[in-house]
Amino acid sequence: MIVANNLHFKQGNFVIEDLSLSFPKGEVTGIVGPNGSGKSTLLKLISRLLQQDSGAIYIDDRDLLSYKRKELARKMAMLVQLKEAMPSFTVREMVSYGRTPYQNVISGKTDEDQQIIEWAMKETGLTQLEDRLVHSLSGGEQQRVRIAMALAQKTNILLLDEPTTYLDIGHQVELMALLKRINRELGITIIMVLHELQYAAAYCHHMIVMKQGKAFTSGIPNEVLTEDLLKQVYEIEAKIIYDGNYPSIIPKQY
């Protein structure tokens, strides 16, 4: 469904060269790799926040660059890293922004828009918080608001850059479970950058490992995530112990 062919991209001293990848439709793909390996850059190229120097990205067999802005916003939602302060909007107002790609300036919000806003808040457990100001919420609640806004956008692709940043382990697991349910029940294709290899292994169908602007390897997580990979990509000696699909990584230096 999403295919990248022979991408070339240069920013400063960092280069992506001849990168070709595919992201399976209806599945959850995790992009992992060390700091500075190009994970966010790859996600930004897929969401058109950045544009490759050459090569092409196809979404549903159509060149990404040929989509009109609103048309693309109806197809994919992107949650960038949570770095900036959240705005002074209520939860409902912020979720409503997800309807922007469908709105007509004259008619404003339709009944259908309102129903979708209610649905998105319900799916993410925010109905009780709808009148709260977003910046007054906890980190985990704020992430749910951002996901609700993306759901209100009614896209079939959701891209997320490090969605678990700033969350404690309880909220990390809650968020991963929410994303898994969104994928399973709504069939939304999810592509996310993750630092936690254990979540990539446990919650993703497909995993891509980036190293220095290249896809070092990709495939089924528990086949990709090996002690040898940790050595070659992260340069650590570590032991991996699986409990079902969930790995524990124990570094030798410990």
Ligand X SMILES: Nc1ncnc2c1ncn2[C@@H]1O[C@H](COP(=O)(O)OP(=O)(O)OP(=O)(O)O)[C@@H](O)[C@H]1O
Nearer to ligand X, 9 or 148 (CB): 9
Q: Restricting to residues 74-93, which ones interact with ligand X according to CB under 6 A?
A: none
CB 11, min distance to ligand X, A: 4
CB 85, min distance to ligand X, A: 20
Nearer to ligand X, 123 or 162 (CB): 162
DSSP 133-151: BGGGS-HHHHHHHHHHHHH
DSSP conformational letter for 216: E
Q: Which one of 40, 164, 172, 198 is in contact with ligand X (CB under 6 A)?
A: 40
Q: Restricting to residues 19-38, which ones interact with ligand X according to CB under 6 A?
A: 33, 35-38
Q: In 3D, which of 45, 38, 41 has the Cα closest to residue 59?
A: 45
CA quadruple 243, 246, 252, 254: dihedral positive or negative?
A: negative
Do strands 238-243 and 246-251 pair parallel, antiparallel, or not at all (unpaired)? Answer: antiparallel
Q: Which one of 4, 19, 30, 39 is in contact with ligand X (CB under 6 A)?
A: 39
Q: Which one of 41, 96, 124, 172 is in contact with ligand X (CB under 6 A)?
A: 41
CB 217, min distance to ligand X, A: 16
Is residue 12 within the footprint of ligand X (CB under 6 A)? yes
Is residue 108 within the footprint of ligand X (CB under 6 A)? no
Chain residue at closest Cβ approach to ligand X: 12
CB 161, min distance to ligand X, A: 8
Task: Tell me if 14 sits within 8 A of 41, measured CB to CB.
Answer: yes
C-beta atoms surrounding 244 within 10 Å: 7
DSSP conformational letter for 88: S
Span near ligand X by CB under 6 A; candidates 9-17, 118-126, 127-135, 152-160: 9-17
Q: Which one of 11, 138, 232, 245 is in contact with ligand X (CB under 6 A)?
A: 11
DSSP E strand boundaries for 80-213? 157-161, 189-193, 206-211
Is residue 247 within the footprint of ligand X (CB under 6 A)? no
Which residue is it, tokens 């897929």?
46
| CB-based burial, 212-221: b 16+ in 10 Å, e otherwise | ebbbbbbeeb
Contact residues for ligand X (CB under 6 A)? 11-12, 14, 33, 35-41
